[in-house]
Structure 1
Amino acid sequence: MKTKLLLSFLLLFHSILFAQRAGYWQQAVDYKMDIDVDETSYQYQGKMALKYTNNSNQALKKVYFHLYFNAFQPGSMMDYRLANIADPDSRMTTNIGTAANPKFQSRIATLTPEQIGYQHIHSLTMNGQPTSFQVDGTILEVTLPTEIQSGETATFDMSWEAQIPEQIRRSGRNSKEGVALSMTQWYPKMAHFDEFGWHLDEYVAREFIAPFGNFDVTLNLHKDYVVGSSGVLQNPSEVKGYDKKAKIISANGKATWHFKAENIHDFAWAADPKFVVDSTKSKGGVTVYTVYLPANKQVKENWKIAQELAAEFFDFCTERFGPYPWPTYTIVQGGDGGMEYGTATLITGNREIKSLVGVIFHEAAHSWYQHLFGINETVDEWFDEGFTSYVEELAFQSLFEKRGQLDTNPVINAYRSYYKLALSGKEEPMSLLADYYNTNYAYSQAAYNKGQVLAQQLGYIIGQQNLDKTFLKFYELWKFKHPTANDFKRVAEEVSGINLKWYFNLFINTTRTIDYAIEKVDDNEITLVNKSNLAMPIDLLVEYEDGSTELFYIPLREMRGEKPVESFAIYDGVQRTVLEDWFWTKPSYTLQTNKRPVKVQLDPSLRLADIESEDNSWVK
C-alpha cells in the first residue's frame, strides 16, 4: 500500500507540472467586416480588415483562408462525397433508385450557376502590399509579400463577393421552414495554425477549428429584415425587432446592423422579415435571445418555454462546467438542423417541445465543448460532440424532466447505441479524422455516443466526484485555448491521482471492447473472467444470505491508484472492500468472501461499457 501511495503522489506531482503544455501558444485574429447584402439575388459584397498576430515560434511565408461556400458547386469534394458514401445525408441527396435498391444523387450536382454558392476574392493586401493568392476548392492559399515574423501582427485588407447557396447545409437561402438567409461559414475565415501546423481541411460537411479573436461586423440589408446574430447588437434603437421604440434608420431602403463579439472563433447570423425577437436573462446574468418565425400559436408557446429553460441551462452549466463568459447567447431559427457558433446557434424551429429543448441544450452546450475550449472538431470529434452530448443529457434530465440524482447511468441510452455500433462490424476508431469515416453512421455513433461513454465511464474509473472536479479544473486551465484530448486526460490524472494512459489510448485509438463475466460462484469463492481485450477496474456488489451487502472494488494494475468511495444511494450502508489489483495480462480473478453469496452483480451503476451484460449477474 505504501508503494501505491508513493506512486500516486509522484503521478499527481507530474500531472500538476504538466497539466498545461509547456511553451503553449496560439494565434489571434481581429475581424472588422462591412457587408452589403442584395437579398433579391442572394449575393453580397464584403470588405474585411483582419489583424493577424503570429504568436508561433516561426515566421510565416503563407497564410490560408477557408472559403466554405465554394463547396456548394458541382464537382466539389462535398459533391463527390455525397455521391459516393454508403449512407449520405438525406438533406443533401435525392434517391434516384428505388427503396429496395437506392441510388443517391448529390443535390449539389444539379445546382445551376444562379443556385450555387461561391466566394470570389477581388483583392487582398497585407500591410498595404499586394499578395499572391490562388483558390483551391474551399481553401484560399496566400503567398505573402514579406514573412510575418514571430510576435508580429499583420493587417490583411480583403474585398470579395459571395453568392449564398440554394442547397442548405448549415448555410444557405430559403430553408424548408421559410427562413430567408442562414449565414454560417459565410466569410473568408483565417485557417488555424498551431503546433501541429496548418489545418487545411476541405469542407465536405463536417466541422471546424479556428483561432480565437474579436469580431466587429456591420451588415447592410433591407430595412424590413430582422437579424439574429453572434455577439452584441450595438444599435438596437436603429433596426427592427429588438427595441419597441426603435426608429429604423435606413439609406437606400437598407438598415445597418452593427455587432461586436470578443474572444470567439466563429461568427454567424440569419435574417428574415418575419423574424420575431424575444429575450430573457439567466440568474447568472446571461441575456438569452430567441429569434424565430412565429408560424403558429404552438410554435410560439414552445419557443417561450424553451427560452426560459435555456436561461436555466446556462446557470446549470456554470455550476457544473464553469461560468459562461459572454454576456449574450442568441438562438436563431435557420439552417437545416442545429449547429453551434460563437455566442449563437442556428436550429430548425418547427419542433415539438422536447425536441426543441433538446437541440437548444445541445447547441448551447457546445459553448463549452467546442467553443470555449476551441476543440479541433476535425481531429477530436468525440471530444467535441460526445462531451457536448453528455452535458446536454445531464441538463435535460435535471431541468426538463426534473429528475434528481440518479443511482445508475444517466447516459445509458448512449451506451446502448454504442453497443449496437460495436457489434455492427462498422465501428472505426474514434481517433479517425472526422471526414474520413466510411459511413455517417459510424461517425455519428462514435462522435456523439461513444464520446459520451468515454466521459461517463471515466467517472466509473476515477469516481464521479473526481470527474465533476475534472470538468471544473479543465475549465480553469484551458478556457479560451485549444486543448487536446490528452490535455483533458492530464487534468483527470491530476485531480484523481490515477494513471489513465491505457484507457484513453485503447478506447479512442482502437475498437476493442469490454466484456467481463461472472464465471462461477462456489460457496465463498467468486471467479471473474475478462473475455475481451480491454481491461477495466471492477465494482462487484455481493448480497449475502443474511441480507447484508458488500462492495468489492478491484483496481486495475495500470491505474497505479484507487477510485475513492462514491456517494450513490445504491452503495449507502454497504461495506466497501478494496482487493489486490488485477493485471491486464491475467484473464481471470478469484476472490474469497466471508459469507455465502446469494446474489452477485458486476457494476451495479451500469457505467462499465460491457457489451454483453447477461453474464454480469449471478443469483443463487
Structure 2
Amino acid sequence: MRKFTLILCLFLVQFVFAQRKGYWQQKVDYKMTIDVKDDLYQYDGKMKLKYTNNSGQSLNKVYFHLYFNAFQPQSMMDYRLANIADPDRRMVSNIGTKENPKMQSRIATLGPDNMGYQKIKSLTQNGKATSYKVDGTILEVTLATPVKPGKSTTFDMVWEAQVPDQIRRSGRNSKEGVAYSMTQWYPKMAQFDDFGWHLDEYVGREFIAPFGNFDVTINIGKDYVIGSSGVLLNPKEVKGYDANAKVVEKNGKASWNFKATNIHDFAWAADKDFVVDEATSKGGVKVYLVYKPGEKTTKVWKEAMPYTTEFFDYSAKKFGAYPWPTYTVVQGGDGGMEYGTATLVTGERNLESLVGVIFHEAAHSWYQHLFGINETVDEWFDEGFTSYVENFANLQVLQKKEVIPSNPNLSATKSYINLALSGKEEPASLLADYYNTNYAYSVEAYSKGQVLAIQLDYIIGKQNLEKTFLEFYNQWKFKHPTANDFKRVAEEVSGVNLKWFFNLFLNTTRKIDYAVENVQGNAFQVVNKSDFAMPLDVLVEYTDGTKELFYIPLREMRGEKPAENLVEYQGVKRTVLTDAFWTNPVYEVKTSKAVKTIVIDPTKRLADVDYTNNVYKN
C-alpha cells in the first residue's frame, strides 16, 4: 500500500508539472454584420463565431458577456452605484441639496427608450439549436453537441441591441456630443482557461477575453464617420479616410468593413462630424486620430499626433515591438478606455492632458492587449504597469528629459503611502470588483501596481528590470500571463528569488518602515520598524567627505542586486554586507571612519511609509 501511494504521488507531481508546462488558450474568430437604426439608437446584429477548444477537456456549455444589460434599473451595476461609499461621479447624479447632498445612480433613471440591452433572437451550433438563458450580463449556452478537445465549433447568433445613454464607456450622445461610443457592445465569448470560466457580472470594472480574429461590417447612415479597431478595408467607399472616396450607399447607409487579427476585443465610435488625421511612426505603425473638430479639439489633436507616433517607437525599444499595423484614437466614451488596436478618449483637453491619456491607453496595447492580463483579478498588473509605461513616455517623449530620476514617479509612491496609512488599504490580490471604495481600487491599481515595478527596479536593479520587460514580451505576447509569470521571468533574468516580495506586497497590507538608530562611533543600526523586510541600500557620508554605499541583501533573495550606475551612487565605493534575516529586525553596520550622514535608499525607490527616520545627520 505504501509503495502504491508513493507511485501515485509521483504520478500526480508529474501531472501537475506537465499541466503547468502545457500552456493552452482558447481561440475565437468573429464575423459580424451590424445594421444600425440611427433614429432609435438600436442595431440588429448577426454573428458567425468559430470557437476552438484547446483546453484538453470536453465542453458542454459556453458563456457570453452581454455588457449592455448592465445599463438597466436594478442591475448589479445599478445597485453597486447605490451602495458603494464613493460612487464614480460620472455614473451618478446629485438629487440632494448643498446642505444634504445625495447621489443617485444614473442607471436607476433609465427608461425603455434609453436603457441598454442585448436580446438574443436565435443561437445555433453547427446548424443545430442550442438552449440558452440570460442571467444579468451573462448568457449561458447549453451546447447541442459537446466541443471536444482540439476541435472547433461554429455558432450563428442573431441579436438586437439598444445603445444606452452614455454613462460608462459605452453609450449614445456623450457629453462632448459624440453620437455612438460602441465599446463592449457585442455578445462576447467569455474566457475559459486553467482557472475555469470567468463569469464576472459587469458592475463597472474591466475584463478578460480569448484572442482571435475579427471581421466586422457596420451598416450605418452614409453621413457618419467611424473610428474603429482593426484595418478599414474599403476607405474609398466611405466618408473620412480618402480624399477621393465616393461613398457607396444602399438605402441611405454606407457599409464599413474592418478586420483585425489576434486581438481580444473590438471597439468603434461614430459621429457625423468626425474628421480623420493620419500619420505613420518610424517603425511603421499607422496612427489615426478621429475627433470632432472645433475650438476645444482641432489644434490640440493635431499637436498630439507627433507625440502619439513617437510613443510607439519609444515603447517598442523599451517593452517590445507593437505588432499590429494600425492604432486608432477616437474621441468618445467617458474618459479613456483601451480596446484592441483602438481607444476611446474624451477629447476636449489641453495638450498635456490629451497626450497623457493617449499614452496611457496606448500603453495598454502591451499590458492588457498584447498580454491578455485578467483585469478582474490582477488590476494592478494591468493598470499599474500601463501607468509605469505612460510615465516614462511622458518624461522622455513629451517632456524630452535627458536624465530620468531613479524613482521615475514619486507621486505614485506618495499616493500609495497615503493609502497605506489611511486605514482603507485592501490587499492588491483582491478581485477588482470587490473593493470597499473606489479610492482604494484606484490607488491599488494605478499607483501600487506602478510602485511594485519601481520597487522591482530597486530589488533586482534597473538593467535587470529593463531586460525583464523585454524577455517577458518574448515569452508572453499574445498569451494570458499571470503575475506569477512576470515574477518568474524577473527571477530568471536577475537570479533573485522574489516569492517573498510578491506575496507580501500583493496579498497583504503590510508596510515598509526602516529607520537609522543607535549611531555610536563607527557603528549604527538599521531597524525594521514594521513587518515587511526589504534589501537595503544605505549611503554613508563620512566626516572626511568620502562616501560608501552599503548594500544589505535579504537571505530570502538567494542572490544579490548588481551594482547600479545611478547618479546618487556614481564614484561611491560599494560594500556588499552579509544577508539580513527577516526574523531579526535589527541589523548592525560597522564603518571604518566617523560618520557624518546616513541615508537609507537615497534613490527613494523604497516605498517606506516614513522617510523621516531614514536619514541621520550628525
TM-score by length of 1: 0.96
What code does the residue aligned with 2:272 have? P
CA distance in 2: counterparts of 1:51 and 1:107, whole angstroms: 37
- 1:89-488 equivalent positions in 2, closer than 5 A: 89-99=88-98, 101-296=100-295, 299-488=297-486
CA distance in 1: counterparts of 2:65 and 2:303, whole angstroms: 37
What code does the residue aligned with 2:394 have? F
CA distance in 2: counterparts of 1:405 and 1:501, whole angstroms: 32
What code does the residue aligned with 2:64 have? F
Deviates more, 1:609-618 or 1:564-573: 564-573
What code does the residue aligned with 1:494 have? E
CA distance in 1: counterparts of 2:406 and 2:184, whole angstroms: 40
Summarize deviations over 1:288-321 as a string: whole Å, max 9, x none.
100001121x521211121110100001110000
The one of the two structures with greater contact order (alpha-carbon pairs below 8 A, sep at least 6) is: 1
CA distance in 1: counterparts of 2:428 and 2:126, whole angstroms: 42
Summarize deviations over 1:580-607 as a string: whole Å, max 9, x none.
0100000111111111111111101100
Deviates more, 1:534-543 or 1:96-105: 96-105
Give the match for residue 593 of structure 2: 595
The count of residues paired between Structure 1 and Structure 2 equals: 602
TM superposition shift of 1:136:
0.3
CA distance in 1: counterparts of 2:408 and 2:426, whole angstroms: 25
CA distance in 1: counterparts of 2:302 and 2:20, whole angstroms: 44
What code does the residue aligned with 1:519 have? E
TM superposition shift of 1:613:
0.6
CA distance in 2: counterparts of 1:407 and 1:583, whole angstroms: 30
CA distance in 2: counterparts of 1:567 and 1:247, whole angstroms: 59
Cα contact 2:267–2:339 (8 A) shared by 1: yes
Cα contact 1:498–1:559 (8 A) shared by 2: yes
TM superposition shift of 1:101:
4.1
CA distance in 1: counterparts of 2:588 and 2:173, whole angstroms: 65
Summarize deviations over 1:194-239 as a string: whole Å, max 9, x none.
0000000000010000000000000000000000000000000000
Give the match for residue 12 of structure 2: none
Summarize deviations over 1:380-428 as a string: whole Å, max 9, x none.
0000000000000011011111112324311111000001100111000
CA distance in 2: counterparts of 1:21 and 1:480, whole angstroms: 18
Residues 345 and 166 of structure 1: is their aligned pair in 2 closer, same or farther, counting only changes over 3 Å? same
Give the match for residue 10 of structure 1: none
- 1:72-83 equivalent positions in 2, closer than 5 A: 72-83=71-82
What code does the residue aligned with 1:137 have? G
CA distance in 2: counterparts of 1:117 and 1:197, whole angstroms: 28
Give the match for residue 5 of structure 1: none
What code does the residue aligned with 1:332 have? V
TM superposition shift of 1:168:
2.4
- 1:41-60 equivalent positions in 2, closer than 5 A: 41-60=40-59
CA distance in 1: counterparts of 2:595 and 2:283, whole angstroms: 51
CA distance in 2: counterparts of 1:138 and 1:89, whole angstroms: 20
CA distance in 1: counterparts of 2:201 and 2:606, whole angstroms: 37
CA distance in 1: counterparts of 2:77 and 2:377, whole angstroms: 18
CA distance in 2: counterparts of 1:115 and 1:412, whole angstroms: 44
Give the match for residue 578 of structure 1: 576
The alignment partner of 1:88 has SS state of coil
CA distance in 1: counterparts of 2:402 and 2:240, whole angstroms: 39
The alignment partner of 1:553 has SS state of strand
Cα contact 1:108–1:167 (8 A) shared by 2: no
Cα contact 1:407–1:570 (8 A) shared by 2: no
What code does the residue aligned with 1:617 have? V
Cα contact 2:516–2:526 (8 A) shared by 1: yes
CA distance in 2: counterparts of 1:541 and 1:165, whole angstroms: 58
TM superposition shift of 1:19:
13
CA distance in 2: counterparts of 1:167 and 1:72, whole angstroms: 10
Give the match for residue 4 of structure 2: none
Residues 155 and 19 of structure 1: is their aligned pair in 2 closer, same or farther, counting only changes over 3 Å? closer
What code does the residue aligned with 1:547 have? G
CA distance in 2: counterparts of 1:272 and 1:75, whole angstroms: 30
Cα contact 1:74–1:110 (8 A) shared by 2: yes
CA distance in 1: counterparts of 2:453 and 2:76, whole angstroms: 33
The alignment partner of 2:366 has SS state of helix
- Unaligned stretches of 5+ in structure 1? 1-17
Cα contact 2:555–2:579 (8 A) shared by 1: yes
The alignment partner of 1:116 has SS state of coil
- Unaligned stretches of 5+ in structure 2? 1-16
Cα contact 2:278–2:287 (8 A) shared by 1: yes
Residues 352 and 19 of structure 1: is their aligned pair in 2 closer, same or farther, counting only changes over 3 Å? farther
CA distance in 2: counterparts of 1:264 and 1:357, whole angstroms: 24
Give the match for residue 508 of structure 1: 506
CA distance in 2: counterparts of 1:405 and 1:44, whole angstroms: 52
The alignment partner of 1:614 has SS state of helix
What code does the residue aligned with 2:36 have? V
What code does the residue aligned with 2:282 have? K
Cα contact 2:106–2:167 (8 A) shared by 1: no
Cα contact 1:45–1:162 (8 A) shared by 2: yes
TM superposition shift of 1:526:
1.4
TM superposition shift of 1:547:
1.2
Cα contact 1:552–1:579 (8 A) shared by 2: yes
Cα contact 2:34–2:219 (8 A) shared by 1: yes
Q: Does 1:521 align with 2:519?
A: yes
Cα contact 1:513–1:534 (8 A) shared by 2: yes
Give the match for residue 11 of structure 2: none
CA distance in 2: counterparts of 1:386 and 1:468, whole angstroms: 16
Deviates more, 1:399-408 or 1:34-43: 399-408
CA distance in 2: counterparts of 1:103 and 1:294, whole angstroms: 36
Q: Does 1:618 align with 2:616?
A: yes
Residues 20 and 393 of structure 1: is their aligned pair in 2 closer, same or farther, counting only changes over 3 Å? farther
Deviates more, 1:92-101 or 1:518-527: 92-101
What code does the residue aligned with 2:200 have? D
TM superposition shift of 1:53:
0.1
TM-score by length of 2: 0.96
* Identity percentage of aligned residues: 71
What code does the residue aligned with 1:165 have? P
TM superposition shift of 1:39:
1.2
What code does the residue aligned with 2:567 have? A
What code does the residue aligned with 1:121 have? I
CA distance in 1: counterparts of 2:218 and 2:476, whole angstroms: 33
TM superposition shift of 1:100:
5.1
What code does the residue aligned with 1:57 have? G
RMSD, matched Cα:
1.1
CA distance in 1: counterparts of 2:50 and 2:306, whole angstroms: 38
CA distance in 2: counterparts of 1:490 and 1:89, whole angstroms: 36
The alignment partner of 1:291 has SS state of strand
TM superposition shift of 1:523:
1.3
The alignment partner of 2:596 has SS state of strand
CA distance in 2: counterparts of 1:167 and 1:254, whole angstroms: 24
What code does the residue aligned with 1:398 have? Q
Summarize deviations over 1:108-143 as a string: whole Å, max 9, x none.
111110010000000000000000001000000000
Aligned with residue 496 of structure 1, among 482, 494, 497: 494
Cα contact 1:19–1:490 (8 A) shared by 2: no
